[in-house]
Amino acid sequence: MEKKSNLWEMTLSQLDEVAEEINLDENIHQILRHPKRCLTVSIPVQMDSEKIEVFTGFRVQHNVTRGPAKGGIRYHPDVTLEKIKALAMLMTWKCAVVGIPYGGAKGGIICDPKKLSLKEIEKLTRRYVSEIISFIGPEKDIPAPDVNTNPQVMAWIMDTYSMDVGYSVSGVVTGKPISIGGSLGRDAAAARGVMFTLMNTAKKFKFDPFEKTIAIQGYGNVGENLAHLLSRQGYKIIAISDVAGGIYNPKGLNPVQVSLALKDSGSVIGYKDGQRITNQELLTMDCDILIPAAVENQITEKNAGEIKTKLIVEAANGPTTPKADQIIKERGISIIPDILANAGGVTVSYFEWVQGLQASFWTEREVNLKPRDIMQKAFDNVYRVSEKRKVTMRKAVYILAIERVAEATRIRGLYP
C-alpha cells in the first residue's frame, strides 16, 4: 500500500527513472537529486491571548541554475520539510518545461490558519519573512501564494522586506494586490493555463472538447476559476467538489450559482440543483475529462482501477501517485501531467515579476493572451518528445525539463 506522505519519494523516483531513460550524467544526476538549500526556522508569535506560540516554517530552494528561485508559500497543518522539498523540485521542472528563466523553490509554515485571527496571520507572516529575509529577493528567490495564502499575505511579505531594505521592492513576491504592483489577470492565471492545455490536448488528440463531460475535483482558486472559464467557453461541467464533498448533475452545473452557494454555505454542497456525491465518487464517476484540482495523492493505487474517464488533466500538484500512474497507463487512460497543465500560474507570476522590475504594467488582455503561446509551445515540445520516444506525456514532460536543467548545469560547470 502506498504511503500518503510520499511526495518526496515520488519526485525522486521520477527523476531517477528519467535519468536512466536519457542516460543522464551521474554527476549531474546527483546534483539534481539534492536541493541547493533547505532552511528551517522557528517563528515565535504573540497570539491575541498574549501567549507566545512557536511555529515552524521552511523555505527550500531546489535549483537556481537557470535563474532565481520561484515558488509559493503555504500555511497548512500537513506542511513537512520533505513535502516542501518535493514541491520545490517540481517547480524547477515546471519552470524549465515552459522555458521560464527560474529555478524551483517552495515554502511553508506548519499551522492551521482557520484557527488564527487575521492579526495573528499577519504577525506569523512578518516574523517568518524576517527569518528568511536574507535568502529571498527579486534576484534570489521570489515567493508567491499557495495553499491558504493570498494577495494580502503577499502584501505583508513585500512590506516586511521593503521596510528592511529601506525602499519599496515590488519584485520580491508575485501574486500581490494590484494597488502595490500586482499583475492584472494573475488570480485566474493557473486556471487559464489549464484551459489552454485542455484546448491544446483536444487539438493534438483530435477530439471536440465541447462534446465532452468534465468533472472538477477541488474548488479553490484554480478549480473555481477553471469552472467559470470553461463554462463561459461552452464546456459541460457535470461534477464539482471541495473538501466537504461534491455535487453532480448530468445536465451540467452552473459555476456562478455554485460559487454563490459556496459563499453562502461555506461549501459547494450548498448548491441545490445537483445530487450530493463524495470526492471519491467524483474521481471514479463516468466522465470524459477528469480534472483533479485539489491537493496531492488523490488518485492512488486504491482507486486507480475504478477510474472511468478517458483523459485526466492534472490541475493540482502531484494528484496521481506513481503506482496509480502505472495502473492508469495500463488501462489506456491519458494523463496530461501537472507540471505542464498548471504552469499558467508561474508563467503569469513571471510576467508580474518582469512588470515590477521594469515599472511598466500590461493590460489584462495582454496578460491573459501571452501565456497561450507559451503554453502551446510547451505542449507541442512535450508532445514531440512523447511521440519520438514512445513514452507517456508525463515521462516526456520530465525528459524535456530535466534535459534543460541538466544542460544549464553542464554549461555553467561546478564552482569552485
Q: Which residues are the active-site residues?
A: 106
Element (H, E) at 141: strand 141-145
CA nearest to 173, candidates 213, 210, 133: 133
- The greatest distance separating any two alpha carbons of the chain, rounded to the nearest whole angstrom, comes to 65
**Side chain identity, residue 197:** T
**Side chain identity, residue 236:** K
198: helix, strand or coil: helix
**Side chain identity, residue 163:** M
CA nearest to 258, candidates 299, 291, 225: 225
CA nearest to 237, candidates 222, 261, 220, 258: 258
Would you give the end-to-end CA distance of the chain in angstroms? Answer: 44
> Across the strands, what pairs with 145?
73
Query: C-alpha cell of 36?
Result: 541547493
Query: What is the DSSP secondary structure assignment for residue 277, as one 8-state letter?
Result: E
Is the distance from CB of 49 to CB of 357 less than 8 angstroms?
no
Query: C-alpha cell of 42?
Result: 522557528
Is the distance from CB of 123 to CB of 45 less than 8 angstroms?
yes
Please tell me the distance from the alpha carbon of residue 239 to that of residue 216, in angstroms, as a whole number: 6
Exposed / middle / buried, residue 272 (Cβ in 10 Å: 0-12, 13-18, 19+)? exposed
As a whole number of Å, the CA-based R_g of the chain is: 21
CA nearest to 373, candidates 8, 98, 123: 98
